[in-house]
């Protein structure tokens, strides 16, 4: 990010994306690792969401998720446009013991910077809160740049009309197993049409809780039905990390 954003040191840190890739083997290794770290604990087979204090924690004061107080956000001065082009033909779907994860590909152009989608997964109830309010489900789309920087796009799901794309995902779940998905998934239906978002610098929400992760929390939720929420809750209901202190981090708002 440029110009006025440079005044906020936490946001300025996100500009290191201009650096090129290093050793290709190291980059490949980081890519494989980053596909897993957002939903899979590195050093534990299972996460106990009822005992989050025992989770392995690297260190730092820029943890995620956070509560977004919309009245205290700052207008983003950069253009901030997000363009998402995710694949409808996904690789597979897995119940990994922490979430339902869909391995997918595609591209994300975030404020003029290129990322690739690794996977997306779901938490219930939402990990982030908006003015103290949880949503029933939150989706995380985990994107990675060439230099292995992570940018996570978070989307809230609210109760409303049935979502065909989410229905396809629910119908493919096999508890504790990985499934090959034969039919296409309209991933765009899991994203809001209006791309207004809140941006801050945070962390992964599962161990090792690594920091320097860019978060883009969509302001507009996507509808899924009451029945779809109940069906997801049969597998996961409470796989959300507790809200973490903001510690004076700036939260920027981009209006689409």
Give catalytic residue positions: 98
Dihedral (Cα; 46, 50, 54, 59), 10-degree rounding: 100
Three-state DSSP at 59 gives coil
What are 71's two structure tokens? Answer: 């009245």
- 142 contacts 149 by C-beta, under 8 angstroms: no
What is the SS3 assignment for 200-253?
EEEECCCCCCCEEEEEEEECCCEEECHHHHHHHHCCCCCCCCCCCCCCCCCCEE
Strands 92-95 and 106-110, bridge-based pairing: unpaired
């Amino acid at each position: 990010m440029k110009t006025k954003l440079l005044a906020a040191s936490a946001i300025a840190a996100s500009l290191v994306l201009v650096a090129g890739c290093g050793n290709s083997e190291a980059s490949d290794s980081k890519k494989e690792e980053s596909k897993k770290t957002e939903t899979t604990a590195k050093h534990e087979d299972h996460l106990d969401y009822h005992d989050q204090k025992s989770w392995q924690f690297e260190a730092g004061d820029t943890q995620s998720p956070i509560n977004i107080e919309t009245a205290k956000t700052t207008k983003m001065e950069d253009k901030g446009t997000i363009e998402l082009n995710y694949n409808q033909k996904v690789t597979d779907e897995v119940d990994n013991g922490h979430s339902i994860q869909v391995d997918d590909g595609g591209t994300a152009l975030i404020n003029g910077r290129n990322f690739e989608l690794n996977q997306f997964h779901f938490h219930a109830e939402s990990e982030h809160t908006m003015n103290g309010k949880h949503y029933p489900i939150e989706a995380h789309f985990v994107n990675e740049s060439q230099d292995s920087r992570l940018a996570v796009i978070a989307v809230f799901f609210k109760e409303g009309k049935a979502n065909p794309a989410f229905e396809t995902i629910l119908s493919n779940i096999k508890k504790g197993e990985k499934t090959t998905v034969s039919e296409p998934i309209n991933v765009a239906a899991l994203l809001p049409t209006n791309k207004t978002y809140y941006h801050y610098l945070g962390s992964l929400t599962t161990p090792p809780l690594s920091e320097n992760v860019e978060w883009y929390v969509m302001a507009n939720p996507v509808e899924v039905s009451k029945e779809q929420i109940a069906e997801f809750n049969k597998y996961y209901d409470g796989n959300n990390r507790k809200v973490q202190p903001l510690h004076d981090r700036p939260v920027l708002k981009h209006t689409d």
